[in-house]
């Protein structure tokens, strides 16, 4: 299971509410603790760390990392996961764009990165 705070920060990154730099600043001091957590959290952290390196080396674009994280979350969250008042459903990744999500609360389909 993925910690709700960790899930929320990834959600904010994917939907454009925080930058890559803000994600990295959040991740770095917490990485040692995340590696002691669940398998899903360790795998998610590994994807982020690899993505950061690949972006810096210009191997992938930032949008590729967002898509990868979105796919990972859609596979690894339950039928619906609550982030405060927002519910992320693991169904139908293609139906919701990040622009549709900004400022809205309520039920949304799984995250589509942009």
> In whole angstroms, what is the distance from residue 7 CA to residue 112 CA?
15
Of 11, 6, 4, nearest in space to 109 by CA: 11
Give me the pLDDT at residue 106, please: 34
Query: For 50-92, what is each residue's pLDDT tens digit?
Result: 999 999 999 999 999 999 999 888 887 755 554 444 444 444 3
Does 105 score more than 60 pLDDT? no
Give the global pTM: 0.70
Q: Please provide the average confidence, as pLDDT, over all residues in the chain.
A: 76
Give me the pLDDT at residue 68, please: 93
% of the chain residues with pLDDT over 70: 68
> In whole angstroms, what is the distance from residue 59 CA to residue 20 CA?
16
Give me the pLDDT at residue 111, please: 52
Of 1, 8, 6, nearest in space to 87 by CA: 8
Give me the pLDDT at residue 44, please: 93
Q: How confident is the model at residue 110 (pLDDT cuts 50, 70, 90)?
A: low
> If you average pLDDT over residues 101-109, what whole number do you get?
39
Query: For 11-52, what is each residue's pLDDT tens digit?
Result: 999 999 999 999 999 999 999 888 888 888 999 999 999 999
> In whole angstroms, what is the distance from residue 51 CA to residue 47 CA?
6
SS (H, E, C) the chain: CCCHHHHHHHHHHHCCCCCHHHHHHHHHHHHHHHCCCCHHHHHHHHHHHHHHHHHHCCCCCHHHHHHHHHHHHHHHCCCEEEECCEEEECCCHHHCCHHHHCCCCCEECCCCCC
């Amino acid at each position: 299971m993925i910690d709700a705070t960790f899930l929320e920060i990834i959600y904010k990154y994917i939907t454009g509410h925080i930058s890559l730099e803000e994600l990295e600043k959040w991740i770095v001091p917490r990485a040692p603790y995340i590696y002691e957590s669940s398998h899903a959290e360790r795998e998610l952290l590994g994807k982020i760390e690899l993505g950061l390196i690949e972006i810096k080396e210009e191997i992938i674009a930032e949008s590729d990392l967002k898509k990868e994280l979105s796919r990972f979350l859609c596979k690894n969250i339950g039928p619906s996961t609550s982030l405060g008042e927002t519910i992320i459903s693991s169904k139908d990744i293609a139906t919701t764009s990040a622009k549709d999500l900004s400022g809205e609360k309520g039920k949304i389909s799984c995250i589509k990165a942009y």
